Amino acid sequence: DTEVTQTPKHLVMGMTNKKSLKCEQHMGHRAMYWYKQKAKKPPELMFVYSYEKLSINESVPSRFSPECPNSSLLNLHLHALQPEDSALYLCASSQPLAWTYNEQFFGPGTRLTVL
């Protein structure tokens, strides 16, 4: 299985809502990532988990809260978002840093709209 799955595909939420994005991989990867991508821009790294521990937080506002319950799952909890947070949210996974081929495999993304 060489796939990263993400749910939901689309999400519309109000600024007072709480929602979660989910990501799953079964490739045995031990690093997982959240990216945010605005239209016509490259992906921007938000968080990195390595061996289920948060290793990088790119100064992301606290209204985004990541969670890695186990080596296959990655969640992104959303609360009190702003309209400018509307974007495509991509999850990725890879082998650990020291591996030769640690290319990141991306999921299909969740298209988030904040009203």
Partner 1 sequence: ELKVEQNPLFLSMQEGKNYTIYCNYSTTSDRLYWYRQDPGKSLESLFVLLSNGAVKQEGRLMASLDTKARLSTLHITAAVHDLSATYFCAGRNGNKLVFGAGTILRVKS
Selected binder of partner 1 within 13, 17, 63, 108 (CB under 8 A): 108
Binding to partner 1 by CB under 8 A, coded x per residue (else -) over 30-49, reads -x--------xxxx-x--x-
Residue 10 Cα to chain centre, angstroms = 14
- Measure Cα distances from 4 to 8, 54, 69, 108 in Å: 13, 19, 16, 8
């990263």: which residue's tokens? 4
> Which residues are registered as beta bridge partners of 57?
47
Amino acid code (one letter) for 73: L
Part of the chain binding partner 1 (CB under 8 A), chosen from 12-20, 63-71, 72-80, 92-100: 92-100
Q: Counting contacts by CB under 8 A, is residue 5 touching partner 1?
A: no
Q: Among 18-26, 67-75, 76-84, 100-108, which window interacts with partner 1 (CB under 8 A)?
A: 100-108
Distances (CA, A) of 87 to 27, 54, 98: 26, 22, 31
Q: Point out which residues bind partner 1 (CB under 8 A).
A: 31, 40-43, 45, 48, 50, 55-56, 90, 92, 97, 100-109, 111
